[in-house]
Amino acid sequence: MPTDYIAPFALWVVVRRVHRRDGSCFAEPACAGWGGHGGLAVFVSRLHACVYATLRNIHRAQDDTDDWRCIPLQAFDLHGDIRDVNGALNCAMTFAFACDSTGALTVANGAPGLCYLETTFELPDLGLDPVFNFSQWAFDIMRELWECVGAHGYPESIDRTAMMDDMTFACALSVALEVASLTRAEPDGDHWTVYDADTVCWISTPARSCGASQTTRTIH
């Protein structure tokens, strides 16, 4: 069923179609994190979600596929995904890419590294027709981090790319990929980057606060 949610940004997920043995299929979402942290990757930037899907398709690991694509969160059955994991679901609220000290995106394991804030939803709290409330604290932290790197006006840029028609957006995505640099090095946990379509550049900075340990908090 469609996902209703409350958030200051349009939210996006990256999915691929998976076929079951009985012939049916479902949308499998991309996940982020390691060591018990992270979860289903929820992107606040449509452009970042499509960059992630494109690079994962190109640089896929041997056991991966090349049919990942970005869809709006409301088109994904988040409630059903929670049922499938027996009542609790972690979401990795993704706001940046991991990069090296030069600003190159890290694509060490077949997919770009992501920086995120972790949230959790539990099925008993949601009811039959849930509305997922992504609490404001996570987005406040994101805004502070973007401001610290000098990405002034970045929230407005995210909103504008979310509203672009398909042709305009395809051009913006092409430029973002063209000006991106990549590295196969493992993420060091000290650097991250965002792409600003308004200034047509990747903006990066050292930031230990969103490295390997990530910022973690639980929301219901």
Res 106: pLDDT: 95
Report the amino acid identity of residue 80: G
Res 31: pLDDT: 93
Domain housing 125: 4-216
Domain tally, the chain? 1
Res 187: pLDDT: 83
Instruction: Give me the mean pLDDT over the 138-148 stretch.
Output: 95
Query: In angstroms, rounded to a whole number, what is the distance separating the alpha carbons of residues 51 and 99?
Result: 14
**What are 144-194's pLDDT values in tens digits?**
999 999 999 999 999 999 999 999 999 999 999 999 999 998 887 789 999
Q: Model's pTM, two decimal places?
A: 0.89
Instruction: Give me the mean pLDDT over the 10-15 stretch.
Output: 98
Given a cut of 90, is residue 62 above it in pLDDT? no
Handedness of CA 19, 22, 26, 31 (dihedral sign): negative
Query: In angstroms, rounded to a whole number, what is the distance separating the alpha carbons of residues 79 and 29?
Result: 13
Res 109: pLDDT: 86
Given a cut of 60, is residue 212 above it in pLDDT? no
Q: How far is CA 218 from CA 131, 144, 211, in A?
A: 17, 20, 18
**pLDDT tier for residue 211 given thresholds of 50, 70 and 90:** very low
**What are 156-166's pLDDT values in tens digits?**
999 999 999 99
Task: Count CB atoms within 10 A of the CB of residue 179.
Answer: 11
**pLDDT tier for residue 126 given thresholds of 50, 70 and 90:** low
- Token pair of 79 as six digits: 């409630």
Res 154: pLDDT: 97
Res 143: pLDDT: 97
